[in-house]
Amino acid sequence: MDIVELRSDTFTRPTPEMRKAMADAELGDDVWGEDPTAISLQEHCAGLFGMEAGLFVPSGTMGNEAALKALTNPGDDVIAESRSHVVLYEHGAPAVISGVVLRLIDGPNGRLSVDAVAEMIASANEHTSRPTLVWQENTHNMSGGRVIPLEHLAAVARVAHEGGARAFLDGARIFNASVASGVPVRAYGAEVDALSFCFSKGLGAPVGSMLLGSSEFIDRARIVRQMLGGGMRQVGLLCAAARVAVDTMVERLAEDHENAQVLAHGIADALPGSVDPAEVETNMVFVDLPGLDVEEIVRSMWDEGVRMAALGPTRIRAVTSKEVDRAGIDRAIAAFGQAVRGSNAVRDAAVAV
Ligand code: TLP
């Protein structure tokens, strides 16, 4: 049975063109700064985002953590939205690696309130510590892959800068944001001091992320990457696939966004109120199932070859990617409908009526 993989866009596998580029890549020792394929990718990506320099890192998590350490000193405060990846999914690394304190703000749709950030920075005095970094995420994963509009991102960065703090962007899926909004990635890059993005999600490369910023920042980040064991030798092998990803896989993200829309509508038809398709802006569909047995529904879909991820007791996440075509989406909708109709809770409710 073909699997319809919707747990994450991290499941994407490299294209034949990526494998060929890997086989043909010109290589050197990147810890010595001599891998031509890595150098060329870093320069190319810096150019795309209008930044001075770039650094290839093994993962989005390492990119985030190396950036944090390069941009802060131990004891600093960092403002972040409370459901950001850096807050929820990096196992306390900001505290362990950088010794920073995350100051959290709940942001509807992943957006930090400009006023809340300004107030947090302004209230610093000799008694309260001063935030030195403001962290944004675009698209914002845990709010359902929502796009942070450029003007909002810029307004948050502006109050950070006015308060003497720097602005960072976790742009793991910045190309999804760009394709969905029509805003070039360069425009996002212009608003922040540094950013990271991933090759290994919707863009389909097997491994890797890019850190971008000033040359001074990248020099510091390179040392942190080494400290974390992320200095890799003939890394051009991976950079070659990443280059194919940025060169050929960006525009097709629109297809993933369309598929997410179709999926959201299908799920909303099967179970009205569980998802609002108007809130699906990119490749993620969050489905709310209060009162239903989420584990049972996920298992039932799994038996039909459809994989979605349970996000806690009442919610499911489905992420579209190049691994799933329209026929796969149709199968996912059918499997969801069947799972919900077969769910104990729905059956019990029907009996009660
Ligand atoms: N996100 C993964 C999981 O870790 C949750 C996923 O399946 O969505 N920033 C953001 C916004 C991310 O969504 C992720 C991965 C990362 C950073 C980390 O990237 P990796 O997995 O390369 O360390």
5 domain-assigned: no
54 domain-assigned: yes
344-352 and 326-342 are packed helices; what angle lies between their axes, rounded to 10 degrees? 50
90 domain-assigned: yes
Q: What is the mean pLDDT of residues 175-198?
A: 98
17 domain-assigned: yes
Half-sphere exposure of 270 (CA within 13 A, CB side): 25
321 domain-assigned: yes
Find the CATH number of the domain harbouring 277.
3.90.1150.10
Find the CATH number of the domain harbouring 87.
3.40.640.10
Ligand 1 atom closest to the Cα of residue 62 is 23
Whether 143 and 291 share a structural domain: no
List pocket residues of ligand 1, CB cut-off 6 Å: 8, 10, 59-61, 64, 85, 89, 137, 141, 170, 172, 198, 200, 209
Whether 204 and 294 share a structural domain: no
Give the residue, out of 85, 88, 143, 175, with the most ligand 1 atoms within 8 A of its beta carbon, to mutate for a pocket test: 85
Whether 230 and 276 share a structural domain: no
12 pLDDT above the threshold of 70: yes
Please report which confidence band the pLDDT of residue 128 belongs to, taking 50, 70 and 90 as the band edges: confident
Half-sphere exposure of 266 (CA within 13 A, CB side): 21
Residue ending a domain, choose from 207, 223, 248? 248
DSSP states of 156-186: HHHHHHHTT-EEEEE-TTHHHHHHHH---HH
353 pLDDT above the threshold of 70: no
Whether 243 and 260 share a structural domain: no
Total structural domains within the chain: 2
Whether 241 and 338 share a structural domain: no
220 domain-assigned: yes
Q: Which one-letter amino acid corresponds to residue 189? A: G
At residue 38, the 3 state secondary structure works out as: helix
Show the domain range for 321: 252-352
Span 294-344, pLDDT tens digits: 999 999 999 999 999 999 999 999 999 999 999 999 999 999 999 999 986
Whether 218 and 346 share a structural domain: no
Query: What pLDDT is recorded for position 350?
Result: 63
Rounded to the nearest integer, the mean pLDDT of the chain is 96
Cα 338 to ligand 1 centroid, rounded to whole Å:
30
Span 25-81, pLDDT tens digits: 999 999 999 999 999 999 999 999 999 999 999 999 999 999 999 999 999 999 999
Cα 295 to ligand 1 centroid, rounded to whole Å:
22
Whether 140 and 123 share a structural domain: yes
